[in-house]
Amino acid sequence: MYHAAFMQRAIALSQEALTHPGTEPFGAVVVKDGRIVGEGWNHSLVNFDPTSHGEVEALRDACWKLQTVDLTGCELLHLMRALRAVRGGDADRRHRALVLRRLAGRVGRSVRHPEA
């Protein structure tokens, strides 16, 4: 269930990351039943952890909040790369920077966003 508000939240997280030293502007959200259940952005540099990407942080947050490792029925939206849009560039390019993944169990399968 893709919704522009979820995409906007991932972008807002990316923008917020720019204000925190040692983080990178790669925001992500996990959505279940029409609400955000997990959020994150890239903490790899500050945590000295190459696995601390935005989507991984969002998945960890969702698992913690839902108290499960089974994210069946959830969707993950995340920025694939930092674009000028995150730093104030043109708004249309932001849409192409997001990836939607439908999650099944503990394995995610990528799907193409309908507006990409």
Which are the catalytic amino acids?
Answer: 55
CA dist., res. 30 & res. 26, Å (int): 14
CA dist., res. 116 & res. 14, Å (int): 19
